Structure 1
């Protein structure tokens, strides 16, 4: 719907919004009449070279056109995302005070009242024009806000945020107001309202390169999961002890040849150097290994990010993920941002790669949807699975690198490879989940115990008959 920055500037299909941007520039100019258009152009001109260097490709625009684009787009972002909201409130308060002064004027000022009434009328008209321009979401409707948020978070639709900051500083002048980053961050929070966020109001970001970078900050994991999940060590040693006992007591379950082949194929793969080849598995495979899935509850006291996944005592807690028609575009741009700017990490890429393998099949999506971990508005579970398969396509990712889910990946693979976990899960899924089968198995065990006790007493009675 709109173009921001040089890459789509001048596109014929986007000219409607280009015309509207002049209204936003007019709004900014009216907020502080002491600052002229020439002053804005001069200040932005000082940072134009720096702004050009922020783009990876050559900008085929002359200096005048590039400067005009930065000014119009900067005013548009500042206004649409509410960065000038506090300035507008100060402006309206000044006009209201001026009007009250006219109403309560002293009698010796009657000779100047006509001029002041005229000035007040002009100020009122200006106030109406400014207010109308600042409330375009009410004029156009909610669709405008939705599509504006969508377009403003495209990687190729960005301008350096220091341009927006400088425009705000010029408008604010000597006024003591909250930095524009606070209101703009609040607007981004509104756009991401369906995703859990760990960043709270008291610690909103104020240092970011552009709007997509700001959005990326909200998706960072709260704590890097580099610990070795020490809470999982004890159960692993217990399982090894049980395996050892089963081996020497010769009560290990015998598998047929096909099951043995499958078991061998599921062993942890190795690469050169003896390192583990880290990998994720499907949700249904984890379920068959005794892993339970649960939606992680959002706690306002200790909030978590969308990327904060936990695995404790065979229970994987995953934050709720809402998926709609805009999700694919947003996630694709966040991945592209990390792929092209490696200095910002690969946390979100790791999260998408994890989901792409966890949700490889529609059945996996259904499994997590039943547990309210996945809430989607697409046509079918197949579309959700296809979405994450598409998102991970052609993505460069090192499974053996130092990504934030690496320890979790290794812990879950060790859990999956443990045969006792799979046996216990098989018993539970095939027998004990049905209450009648569980009751029958329990009754069978009781009958078996009673039979053994009766046999023992019978033998004892035969060996040592009562006198």
Structure 2
């Protein structure tokens, strides 16, 4: 039987039906030349549904739906206002001496737990805070112009209860004033802000009374606290501050330094609330200015500038600055406004116009010695300077207000720069100034040049390299753009002047030929001889062509 007969003997399937096995077998045996096509793999099975995915996705969707950016209002509600007290960002403080951001004598605010407060060297002043509360309450109940001494429970306890209740009422606003997110220094500080209501209220009462006591004493000079706040007559205060901490007579200098640390702050409205409860003179907000005046006097010796001004100088400047209690967020903010508020508005507008043209300029200038070689002259700006930030450049002269550096100047500059780097919508003037000075001072020779010009004087302990790297350490990791720097146009003008040829040639002439009187005398004699020789030659030639009759 042939092949056809054997095929015909097999039963035929239904008409029109196709056997898929035969089709696949034919495709497998189909040859093109000497190559055989491989069978097409079947499609992958559909993924099985994971029972856990829908629940995870629902959590993600809920979290995304609730991620609404918080918007702060300007309706006067302090609980809806943005935070005003921050801690130092980690990237700004890593690899540096963290002591510049830590208190040395007193802890202020909830970023420090009770365990830290009860250890040395902070324990002594923690006890003194209770004395401040007692003194303020006793004087308040004694009446205006009078000073109390004895604690009478029936008389003074109600006022103490009223102060604690007021601090408890302010708890939402107090918590909203602090921002301590992850990635910032004081990881314990992020948790340290979370106190129960009674602990936070007591902490605000103690810290607020301590600060109020200090500001009233400074604002009133040597007058008693109750007399000063009520506008009465004089009288020495019976509280000798230096005796409160035996063995540390200079502790109050450390306290003033500690009160300007970034995270060592409490909201200023806490001081205002205690002032209204404890200072009863019937004049209200008019007398609150004594807090601003006291703050300026307290920090007068720390103000950067040409020498440490006595406290009396701060009293005259406070009236000119027009700083009110409503404008102040905390003591560091008050100090910052005092060194920057004196800038002229017209000058600010001119700088903004210049900055718009210098948006892409690099914030850099050559060092002081290179600028001197290029013909730039450094001059101390004394008579017309409104602040140590008032730097100008005109006609090849870079005028910088005098600045004296002390051992406590570095923590001050670091915290001011950290304040600018964390506080929203704050002009980075101190950062810009530090960047400029860091560019100018690269070697001890640069430091010597600025010292000779009266611009910079170092009273810091240690060798000259300590002062040379002062601004480099202060502004390390600080970020600022040319559009944010009020000195951007000044630095651009300096670079353009340094790149010109004529100032460089003129500087070389002065340096090589006019460096001392003897060289000047020799040059003048040579010029005189050259002129005389020229005149002699002229008359000799003239007489040859036109002899006399």
Alignment TM-score, normalising by the size of structure 1 = 0.75
Q: Distance in 2 between matches of 1:95 and 1:392?
A: 47
Q: Distance in 2 between matches of 1:43 and 1:368?
A: 53
Q: Distance in 1 between matches of 2:471 and 2:301?
A: 24
1:4 aligns to 2:141 (yes or no): no
Q: Distance in 2 between matches of 1:442 and 1:405?
A: 41
Pair 441,93 (structure 1): closer, same or farther in 2 beyond 3 Å: closer
2:171 pairs, out of 33, 48, 56, with 48
Pair 214,80 (structure 1): closer, same or farther in 2 beyond 3 Å: same
Q: Which moved more, 1:86-95 or 1:370-379?
A: 86-95
For residue 160 of structure 2, what is the aligned residue in structure 1?
Answer: 37
1:282–1:364 contact (8 Å) kept in structure 2: yes
For residue 387 of structure 1, what is the aligned residue in structure 2?
Answer: 470
For residue 132 of structure 2, what is the aligned residue in structure 1?
Answer: 24
For residue 217 of structure 1, what is the aligned residue in structure 2?
Answer: 337
For residue 195 of structure 2, what is the aligned residue in structure 1?
Answer: 61
2:363–2:491 contact (8 Å) kept in structure 1: yes
For residue 261 of structure 1, what is the aligned residue in structure 2?
Answer: none
Q: 1:87: Cα distance to partner? A: 6.9
Pair 191,142 (structure 1): closer, same or farther in 2 beyond 3 Å: farther
Q: State the secondary structure of the residue aligned to 1:201.
A: helix
For residue 480 of structure 2, what is the aligned residue in structure 1?
Answer: 397
Q: State the secondary structure of the residue aligned to 2:478.
A: coil
1:160 aligns to 2:160 (yes or no): no
Q: State the secondary structure of the residue aligned to 2:300.
A: helix
Q: Distance in 2 between matches of 1:22 and 1:186?
A: 24
Q: Distance in 1 between matches of 2:278 and 2:272?
A: 10
Structure 1 unaligned segments of length 5 or more: list them.
97-126, 229-272
2:302–2:308 contact (8 Å) kept in structure 1: no
1:21–1:72 contact (8 Å) kept in structure 2: yes
Pair 408,422 (structure 1): closer, same or farther in 2 beyond 3 Å: same
1:82–1:187 contact (8 Å) kept in structure 2: no
Pair 94,295 (structure 1): closer, same or farther in 2 beyond 3 Å: closer
1:446 aligns to 2:528 (yes or no): yes
For residue 169 of structure 1, what is the aligned residue in structure 2?
Answer: 276
1:290 pairs, out of 372, 375, 380, with 375
For residue 189 of structure 1, what is the aligned residue in structure 2?
Answer: 300
For residue 82 of structure 1, what is the aligned residue in structure 2?
Answer: 216
User: How many pairs align?
Assistant: 389
For residue 58 of structure 2, what is the aligned residue in structure 1?
Answer: none
For residue 287 of structure 2, what is the aligned residue in structure 1?
Answer: 178
Pair 417,152 (structure 1): closer, same or farther in 2 beyond 3 Å: same
* Cα deviations by residue, 1:19-39 (Å, 9 ceiling, x for unpaired): 221111111111223661110
Q: Distance in 1 between matches of 2:108 and 2:174?
A: 13
Q: Distance in 1 between matches of 2:229 and 2:494?
A: 59
1:366–1:381 contact (8 Å) kept in structure 2: no
Q: 1:55: Cα distance to partner? A: 1.0
Q: Distance in 2 between matches of 1:434 and 1:91?
A: 60
Q: Which moved more, 1:285-294 or 1:424-433?
A: 285-294
Alignment TM-score, normalising by the size of structure 2 = 0.65
1:201 aligns to 2:305 (yes or no): no
1:87–1:172 contact (8 Å) kept in structure 2: no
Q: Distance in 1 between matches of 2:547 and 2:275?
A: 103
Pick the structure with greater CA Rg: 2
Structure 2 unaligned segments of length 5 or more: list them.
1-104, 142-154, 181-189, 352-357
1:41–1:67 contact (8 Å) kept in structure 2: yes
Q: Distance in 2 between matches of 1:136 and 1:8?
A: 24
Pair 415,24 (structure 1): closer, same or farther in 2 beyond 3 Å: same
Q: Distance in 1 between matches of 2:172 and 2:359?
A: 51
Q: 1:278: Cα distance to partner? A: 4.3
Q: Which moved more, 1:4-13 or 1:455-464?
A: 455-464
1:31–1:91 contact (8 Å) kept in structure 2: no
Pair 92,291 (structure 1): closer, same or farther in 2 beyond 3 Å: closer
